[in-house]
Chains A and B, each alone.
Chain A
Amino acid sequence: MKRVFIFCLVFVGLISCNSKKNSPLRIAAAANLRYALDELVDTFEISSGVPCEVVISSSGKLTAQIESGAPFDIFLSADMAYPNYLYEKGIVKSKPEKYATGALVLWGGVNRISGLNDLLKEEYQPIAIANPETAPYGKAAFEVLKSLNSEEYWVGKLVYGESISQVNQFLISGAVSVGFTSKSVIFSDSALLKSSWISIPDSLYSKVDQGFVILNKRPDQKENADIFGEFLLSKQAKDILRRYGYTTEM
């Protein structure tokens, strides 16, 4: 028995030895950015020499975590509303800035769809959208649907993902045949998502302006977060974002 206790003590001692290295810049980003962000971060790390780590989730979840004090340094949202909310509540001091505008696409899987009106046919239902209450792309998708038919018509004909990521999984697994996702997703490694999508006229939904905000949760990372913020607004970053289907201001 004694030996077991001694072993336990030594063991705990050993695994608690955890030398904290220079912690990297922590970027919290919305799910739709996942693919573009890989390249953005690689480019930024090379040009600035600042190591980064990325935490991806839905904008709403990240906002809730930031409110509870999550140690992130910069937050890249899928809309302007969440960063503005943090700013207005006084949780962040610096003003949110817009870095890109995202586009919505309709993904048609194997049943190639010819146009938006196909959505009214029963064979394509249910349609997957992200939760309009919390996901900016879900809100945009619901606006498109409402332009096709009344809100009541769609009751029971939609399935909701908690974010764009879950909608993508519904589509890839074949659980649903059509769904609204962000254009950036078709630049993922998944070959299936690369095919069979149609773009949606941007007159049908309000623009998905995406903003970032510097959090200053860890003062030693403030400077690096500022540099990353500047980088996001640089021509270099905008070129990358455009290649992933976003539009940016010149």
Chain B
Amino acid sequence: MDWSPFILTFKLACITTLLLGLISIPVAYWLAYGKSKFRTITEAILGMPLVLPPTVIGFYLLLAFGNQSLLGGWLNNTLGLHLAFSFSGLVIGSMIYSFPFMVYPLVSGFRNIPLSFRESGRVLGKSELNIFYHIILPNSKQALLTAAILSFAHTIGEFGVVLMIGGNIPNETRVASIAIYDYVESLNYSMANRYSLFLLGVTFFILLSVYFVNRKRNG
């Protein structure tokens, strides 16, 4: 059995989750506590990957990343970056696709922290950054964990976007879901079954252990 699609899938899910976390925490902070009137429209835009079919997202990303588009051509000519049909392209696609799964739990987690927590920090003369790092983040562990698991799981289960912008290239963009699709297409049902069962087992085990740890921590 060829393990490379699984390694690629988990690599993609790890990198996507980490990068997405770094971007989403400030965004979620702004959405939860900001005063700007653009917050509602931003929240609506960020939620769009939930509604749009992945093929639509993939199609637009392919147009954007392709050599013939302005963006794709510019990236290609000036930075030498090929985002279509490459692993980095998959990371960007997955980040867009999983954005709401990271941001929404964080926003609701931040909003649930009682105002008195932040106020007491202010009374003690802490800076907002200090309050964020020492009060808000430690009190949002649950939300952080949920957001990370959801984005991780969602990236593993991703198919439409990867199919459109990935191009099924071994060791580069052939993730597990694509490999399974490929085996089904080639009528090799036994291999498709084996891959699917393995993926099923691994994801169940990941989710189980995370929720187990979570329950234990909460007593």
Contact = CB atoms under 8 A, between A and B. Distances in A.
A71 B82 contact: yes
A69 B85 contact: yes
Contact of B185 (A8, A11, A12, A165): A165
Interface string B184-216: 111110000000000000000000000000000
A53 B173 CA distance: 13
Interface string B111-149: 000000000000000000000010001100000000000
B54 interface: no
Nearest to A171: B187
Contacts of B67: 68-69
B66 A67 contact: yes
Interface string A57-85: 10000000101111100000000000000
A193 interface: yes
Contact of B84 (A11, A68, A166, A188): A68
Contact of B85 (A12, A34, A71, A190): A71
Contacts of A8: 18
A40 interface: no
A56 interface: yes
Interface stretch (B37-45, B100-108, B153-161, B163-171): B163-171
Contacts of A120: none
Given A11-B14, A168-B187, A67 B68 contact: yes
Contacts of A189: 187-188
Interface residues of A, number: 28
A26 interface: yes
A172 B14 contact: no
Q: Which of B15, B63, B138, B186 has the most CB of A within 10 A?
A: B186
B186 A69 contact: no
Number of chain B interface residues as a range: 20 to 34
Contacts of B138: 1
A82 B162 CA distance: 23
Nearest to A71: B85
B217 to A, nearest CB: 14
Given A12-B15, A55-B168, A65 B187 contact: no
B85 A53 contact: no
Q: Which of A11, A71, A166, A172 has the most CB of B within 10 A?
A: A71
Given A168-B187, A189-B188, A55 B167 contact: yes
A56 B186 contact: yes
A188 to B, nearest CB: 5
Nearest to A165: B185
A31 interface: yes
Given A56-B182, A165-B185, A12 B18 contact: yes
Contacts of B62: 68
Contacts of A1: 133, 137-138
Contacts of B65: 68
Nearest to B133: A1
Given A1-B133, A31-B185, A188-B187, A69 B11 contact: no
A70 B67 CA distance: 9
5 nearest A-B pairs in the assembled complex, by CB-CB distance: A68-B66, A69-B67, A165-B185, A190-B187, A53-B170
Given A16-B15, A56-B182, A70-B84, 17 more contacts: A1-B138, A11-B14, A12-B15, A26-B169, A34-B185, A53-B169, A55-B168, A67-B66, A69-B72, A69-B76, A69-B82, A69-B85, A70-B167, A169-B187, A172-B187, A188-B186, A189-B187
Interface of A: 1, 8, 11-12, 15-16, 26, 31, 34, 53, 55-57, 65, 67-71, 165-166, 168-169, 172, 188-190, 193
13 contacts: A11-B14, A11-B18, A34-B186, A53-B170, A53-B171, A55-B168, A56-B186, A57-B168, A65-B167, A67-B68, A68-B63, A68-B85, A169-B187
